[in-house]
Amino acid sequence: MTQVQDVVREVLTLLEPMVEPDGGSIRLAEFSPEQSRLTVDYSRGTNDACSTCVLDGDSLKAFIEEGLQTRGIQLTEITVREPHPAG
């Protein structure tokens, strides 16, 4: 595993406690350092008492970007994929 990939995994691990209390999860789906691209699968949890407390995909993306930037890693593309609810 590359040093950059280790840092990506570290950042995602640090963000897990933000989504786990509401039943959410984060998973590294794809990382391509050569193309400067990261894709993360995000299953958003639920919180009936506070629906605005649940982190949305855009906010998670911003936290990932900030976490990587503070560690000196700049990616050109970060995608947070959320499954669409069955309907």
| Per-residue pLDDT reduced to its tens digit, 15-62 | 999 999 889 999 999 999 999 999 999 999 898 888 788 899 999 999
Element (H, E) at 42: strand 37-43
Residue (of 13, 1, 27) closest to 67 by Cα position: 13
Amino acid, res. 63: F
Backbone angles phi, psi at 25, to 5 degrees: -150, 155
Q: Which domains does the chain have, with CATH numbers?
A: 3-81 (3.30.300.130)
Q: Look up tokens 């669409």; give the residue.
A: 84
The pTM (predicted TM-score) of the whole model is: 0.88
Using the predicted structure, report yes or no on whether residue 87 has a pLDDT greater than 60: no
